[in-house]
Amino acid sequence: MKYIRLIYLVTFVFILLYFFEFDYSGINFTKINPYLFLTSSILLYFGYFPYSYSWKQILNEFGIDISFKDSYKIISKTMITKYVPGKIAFFYTLVKSTSNCTKASNKELTYGLFVFQILIVITGLAFATLLFNTIPLEIPLISLILFLLVCLILSSSFFIKKLKLGLSKLIKVETFVSSIKLKRFISVLSILFLTWLVWSIAFLVLLKSLGIENIGFEIGFIFPVAVSSGILLFIAPGGLGFREGAMVYLLLSSGLSLESATTISIISRLWFICVELIIFFLGWLFNEK
What's this model's pTM, rounded to 2 decimal places? Answer: 0.89
Using alpha carbons, select from 36, 19, 22, 9 the residue that is nearest to residue 210: 36
Q: How far is CA 108 from CA 58, 172, 234, in A?
A: 11, 17, 21
Q: Which residue numbers in the chain have pLDDT < 50?
A: 172-173, 235-236, 238-239
* Alpha carbon of residue 128 to chain centroid: 16
pLDDT tens profile 109-150: 888 898 899 999 999 999 999 988 888 888 889 999 999 998
